[in-house]
Amino acid sequence: MYIHKSARWRFILVIILLASLYPVTVCAESKARARDLGVPFDGTPGPNNAITDVKGVEVGHTTLISGEGKLVVGKGPVRTGVTAILPRGKNSLDPVFGAWFTLNGNGEMTGTTWLEDSGILDGPVMITNTHSVGVVRDAVIAWRIKKAPPDSEGYAWSLPIVAETADSDLNDMNGFHVKPEDAWHALDSAHSGPVEEGSVGGGTGMVCNEFKGGIGTSSRIVNEKAGDYTVGVLVQCNYGWRSQLRIAGVPVGREITEQTVRNDDIGSIIIVIATDAPLIPTQLKRLARRASLGLGRDGSFSGDGSGDIFIAFSSANPGVAGAKGVHDLKMLANEQLNPLFLATVQATEEAVVNAMVAAETMTGINGKTVIALPHDRLREVLKKYNRLVK
């Protein structure tokens, strides 16, 4: 097709103009977060209000959504995925100090036996659905061997951290739809900056406080005498009893009562805590325990059917896991941990609410629908209790 020279230039100018407008369009269409709706929270968040505010941390997702209607095991409907959290990013093989804590053990997090003994987290933290833990674990081993081949004696091993929550309310969980390539994609696509929230990655098919749940994140900046530190939290939330849900201290669950799905506190939550503060494993276990208090602020009492499992790591002290010699390391004094404890509680509380705010109503197996937390109703309830900030 022939285009006149002057017309071609006009066409090029239009394309350039549209390209310049594109970032504005993307920004305008970004999902609302809890603070955008006027939910009040304590503490000062980092620039992205996300776990990636801890320098070096990257997060990636693979989201699997297909099919509708009646459940046919092995075919769908599919509402699931994988989330990867990499403490120093996907291009680093340098381990970090870590620790874990189980508030209620009706769930799974692989690799924790060695984490408990060694205090070293070597590799990513992965989250998926309950029946995909095995395939994700094996996929991480293959991914790591590819990045770090066996040594000259042929020795290579890995004990990956893989956690789960059950998405069988909406997903064909017994259909085993998560494949190795899905875990690899989550790892390879991990990035810094803003983190996708709601019905994405491992959180795709999850339910939280009988609203649609999923992935949520938040962070806090801590100004300590010994330095300025960041605490970041990411949750995969699939727990909770609507009647107990509290947001900013308000009994939201008792105000928004329609379309409940479980009528009990079951389902599980995985919480990942990152910090750049120089903490050793015993201190990180103390930090992990504090996530319980943030969860309690949102109304959880950690019911018998819920697997509430938390992991914490510090990106400080690079090279600490070297195989030889004496390692010099830094450790924040125990007397200076209180601000980090408080930051963990605050960021956990907000991360859960961010997950529910970002999630959208979803229909899954057998036409079952789980509604999203209605933004307008949430604002009305907060206003009723004089807690709406704008």
Q: Which two tokens stand for residue 173?
A: 């969980």
Number of C-alpha atoms within 13 angstroms, CB side, residue 84?
30
Residue 93 three-state SS:
coil
> Which pLDDT value is given to residue 14?
41
- Of these residues, 219, 292, 306, 315, which one is catalytic? 306
Whose CA is closest to 196, among 38, 355, 308, 55?
355
> Which pLDDT value is given to residue 54?
98
- Taking phi first (over 0 means left), then psi (-120 to 50 degrees means alpha), and beta for anything else, what does residue 299 get? left
Q: What is the pLDDT of residues 172-227, one digit of tens each?
A: 999 999 999 999 999 999 999 999 999 999 999 999 999 999 999 999 999 877 67
- Of these residues, 172, 308, 314, 315, which one is catalytic? 308
Q: Which of 89-98, 136-145, 320-329, 367-376 has the lowest mean pLDDT?
A: 320-329
Q: What is the pLDDT of residues 29-64, one digit of tens each?
A: 478 999 999 999 999 999 999 999 999 999 999 999
> Which pLDDT value is given to residue 219?
98
Using the predicted structure, report yes or no on whether residue 20 has a pLDDT greater than 50: no
- Known catalytic membership, residue 168: no
Q: What is the pLDDT of residues 129-143, one digit of tens each?
A: 999 999 999 999 999
- Of these residues, 268, 292, 300, 315, which one is catalytic? 268
What is the separation, in whole angstroms, between the first and last Cα of the chain? 55
What percent of the chain shows pLDDT beyond 70?
Answer: 91
Residue 212 three-state SS:
strand
Whose CA is closest to 342, among 43, 34, 35?
43
Burial class (CB in 10 A: 0-12, 13-18, 19+), 143: buried
Amino acid, res. 331: M
Q: Which residues, in sequence order, are CB contacts of 223 under 8 Å at separation 6+?
A: 339
- What's the count of helices (H) and strands (E) in the chain, helices before strands? 8, 14
- Known catalytic membership, residue 169: no
- Known catalytic membership, residue 328: no
Using the predicted structure, report yes or no on whether residue 21 has a pLDDT greater than 50: no
Q: What is the pLDDT of residues 341-366, one digit of tens each?
A: 999 999 999 999 999 999 999 999 99
pLDDT band at 27 (very low <50, low <70, confident <90, very high): very low
Whose CA is closest to 264, among 291, 237, 245?
245
CA 4 vs CA 11, 14, 154, 186, 319: distances in Å? 10, 15, 65, 47, 63
Q: What is the pLDDT of residues 66-109, one digit of tens each?
A: 999 999 999 999 999 999 999 999 999 999 999 999 999 999 99
Residue 57 has φ and ψ, to the nearest 5°, of: -70, 135
Whose CA is closest to 161, among 323, 271, 277, 319?
271
Please work out, in degrees rounded to the nearest 5, the angle formed at the alpha carbon of residue 273 by the alpha carbons of 271 and 278: 160
pTM over 0.85: yes
Strands 307-314 and 211-212 turn out to be unpaired
Using the predicted structure, report yes or no on whether residue 281 has a pLDDT greater than 90: yes
Strands 120-121 and 207-208 turn out to be unpaired
Average pLDDT over the chain, rounded to an integer: 91
Rg for the chain, CA atoms, rounded:
22
